């Protein structure tokens, strides 16, 4: 496991973006954990996350392979801005952009905010998790309406590695459809393995009992 992955898991625990127990998901599944990127809302946490995302992107793509960092509304918006700032600290100056859910009819009218998108732009998309991929597909539709772009890669914070209700792997289907790769800082497996084997600031976040429940959940819903 790379340093930025360990840093992300520990930051998520510190910020309580990662919570453990029993949570009913939108799908109705009873999950032993819950992740919420919306809690990285302080300057300090955003600053730390920016460095992690920048290291993550650099581990997968060289700077000359993409032009714009894009965040789909809404959770992807602060992540794209953070990524752009983190990359700038590494001497990589990439503009950010995000989509609106509804087009403005006055002022800076249009569906996109930030860097102007033009034909040939190679887009790095940054988001929190990947569930069905619908929000990302909507964003791609907006981008494609504006210009002929190429998706250089999708970068998410967490891959839950779960099947859809239809038993399909949504990420694999998305990769085939858009001829791109979806990269995750960490998977649920990596989180549980790391926190089961390591204490964070003296605290055991994943006990033997919780780890067993995760393995049971994984056997039922995992890909």
Token reading at 71: 């965040």
Q: What is the total count of domains within the chain?
A: 1
Could you tell me the two tokens for 85? 């700032």
Catalytic residue among 3, 26, 62, 106: 106
- Which residues have a Cβ under 8 Å from the Cβ of 201 and sit 6 or more positions away? none
pTM: 0.92
Cα separation, 113 vs 98, in Å, equals 5
Q: Is 106 a catalytic residue?
A: yes
The 10s digit of each residue's pLDDT in 108-167 is 557 899 999 999 999 999 999 987 788 889 899 999 999 999 999 999 999 999 887 788
- Of the candidates 60, 90, 104, 199, the residue annotated as catalytic is 104
Structural domain span for residue 161 = 3-221
C-alpha dihedral sign at 207, 208, 214, 217? negative
Per-residue pLDDT, 135: 84
Write the DSSP string, 7-75.
HHHHHHHHHT-EEEEEEE-TTS-EEEEEE-GGG--SHHHHHHHHHHHHHHHHHH--GGG--EEEE-TTT
CATH code of residue 62:
3.40.50.2020
Q: Each residue of 52-83: pLDDT tens digit?
A: 999 999 999 999 999 999 999 899 999 999 99
Rounded Cα gap, residues 223 and 221, in angstroms = 7
183 is catalytic: no
């Amino acid at each position: 496991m790379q340093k930025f992955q360990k840093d992300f898991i520990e930051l998520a625990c510190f910020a309580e973006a990662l919570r453990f127990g029993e949570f009913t998901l939108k799908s109705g599944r009873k999950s032993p954990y819950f992740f919420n990127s919306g809690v990285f809302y302080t300057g300090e946490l955003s600053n730390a996350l920016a460095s992690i995302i920048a290291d993550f992107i650099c581990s997968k793509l060289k700077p000359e392979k993409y032009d714009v960092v894009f965040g789909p509304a809404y959770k992807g918006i602060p992540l794209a801005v953070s990524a752009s700032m983190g990359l700038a600290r590494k001497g990589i100056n990439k503009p950010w952009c995000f989509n609106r859910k509804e087009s403005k009819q006055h002022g800076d009218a249009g569906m996109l905010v930030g860097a102007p998108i033009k034909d040939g732009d190679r887009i790095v998309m940054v988001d929190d998790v990947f569930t069905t991929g619908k929000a990302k597909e909507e964003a791609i539709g907006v981008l494609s309406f504006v210009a002929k772009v190429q998706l250089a890669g999708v970068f998410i914070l967490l891959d839950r590695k779960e099947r859809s209700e239809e038993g399909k792997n949504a990420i694999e289907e998305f990769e085939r459809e858009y001829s791109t790769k979806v990269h995750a800082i960490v998977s649920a497996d990596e989180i549980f393995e790391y926190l089961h084997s390591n204490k964070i600031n003296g605290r055991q976040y994943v006990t033997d009992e919780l780890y067993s429940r995760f393995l049971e959940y994984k056997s039922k819903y995992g890909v």
